[in-house]
Amino acid sequence: MRHLMLAAAATLACAAPALSENRIDLIRPDAPELAARGTHPVGVRAASFTDPDRIDVIAATEQGGTPTADRTLQTEIWYPAADATEPGTTYDTILRDGATPTTLTGSAARDAAPADGTFPLVILSHGYPGNRYLMSHLAENLASKGYVVVAADHPDSTYDDQGAFASTLVNRAVDQRFLLDSMAGLEDEVGAITDADNAAIVGYSMGGYGALIFGGAGLSPDAVARTEPERMVPPAGLLDRLAAGSDDHASLVDPRVKAVVAIAPWGRQHDFWDAEGLAGITKPLLLVSGSDDDVSIYDAIRQIYDQTTGTSRHLLTFEHANHNAAAPIPAPAEAWAMSESLGRAPFDHYADAVWDSVRMNNILQHFTTAFLDQHLKAEDRAAFLDLVPDSADGVWSVDDAGTPDDAHSYWAGFPDRSAKGLMFETKPAGQ
């Protein structure tokens, strides 16, 4: 028994340094093919963008009317870097409790010189609450494959400035459009390599809510006319400008956005869209969800999948996963400890009760790469997106040389015995 205890202690001691590094860039040996980092070193730099005279929803709630104020988005921008770039950086941030500091470790290099060329733009948008580092695993991964990626702290929606929910309802899609405009107007060496005319939006939870609106799904009459619950009713009819069929919503939707990825998108469970509004999305769509999502509600996400009939779309489902499926970074070591302000460990903000976070991150990296390559780079990734819907139905059948034969139907890119607990469904436009 003493030997077993000593062995366990030694194992924990060896694991502790890796855990304390809070790495966001881990790729498991059984990760699907397109999760692997690309050929580019990655640079990262901070930038802030200020939208003057944005309607101040918080002040409108407290004072009435439609006062305006500057709205500043603090961002990180990840991008393909010059070949000589030495990898490795850290990100100083805080946990879900809005107070506990933590440091994340990645493979990007701070303020590295950009690579030559131009690269499509990807906008990452966190949940409520969240911050610009919540999906940094995906940001670094996509940048290594030839994308410029920007993620912002959305005001009134971050860990340390979480404000009235109504602000997020009104501002999220507008923030996403403002980020696109800001990156298009960026006049530095990163701006010079950014192809903002060829862009995608990736949103998680409330970021997914914004992404669907920005992608063309105007809000329903029920959403803009509701009078309760109070937290879902912005003042002064401010949701009207996001209504399906309105001129304001039509002017928000942007032809530069070529694809939308919505992870656990919030809203359909409260009828913020109806079938007519969801049919307004004409951009290719990838939906991602856990089958046990009890926040955005899996059945409601399936409604989004069924009702976005104006476009081709996919639904990736993690069986038995909850709301944190795939998007958040692995829980930092500090998140394992009790937080006095939350009354619990912040761990559950990042983790899932069933799935390993790195595993989910890798699967998301794989499918997002295939989807964005297909629609932003015109690369043929159909093999990775045309799959038997239930991974359990895939058959692994290869010859002695490893060449698939006619009976082989296993999910492309997944090693044998690794495509487990997943569904990937596809519908064409018009169905």
**Beta carbons of 60 and 169 less than 8 angstroms apart:** no
Boundaries of every domain in the chain:
29-394+407-427
Give residue 30's identity as a one-letter amino acid code.
D
Rounded Cα gap, residues 93 and 160, in angstroms: 11
Question: For 206, what's the count of Cα atoms within 13 Å in the CB-facing half-sphere?
Answer: 25
Least confident of 14-18, 66-70, 213-217, 382-386: 14-18
Rounded Cα gap, residues 304 and 269, in angstroms: 10
Output the average pLDDT for the chain: 94
Least confident of 346-350, 385-389, 399-403: 399-403
pLDDT in tens, 250-270: 999 999 999 999 999 999 999
Mean pLDDT within 416-424:
98
Torsion, CA 404, CA 410, CA 414, CA 420, rounded to 10: -150
pLDDT of residue 2: 36
Q: Mutual orientation of helices 136-143 and 357-376 as an angle, nearest 10°?
A: 40
- Token reading at 416: 């044998």
Percent of the chain with pLDDT over 70: 95
Rounded Cα gap, residues 349 and 295, in angstroms: 12
Q: What DSSP character marks residue 271?
A: T
Rounded Cα gap, residues 172 and 156, in angstroms: 10
pLDDT in tens, 278-309: 999 999 999 999 999 999 999 999 999 999 99
Q: Which CATH superfamily is domain 29-394+407-427 in?
A: Alpha/Beta hydrolase fold, catalytic domain (3.40.50.1820)
Mean pLDDT within 57-77:
91
Residue 181 phi, psi dihedral angles, 5° rounding: -60, -40
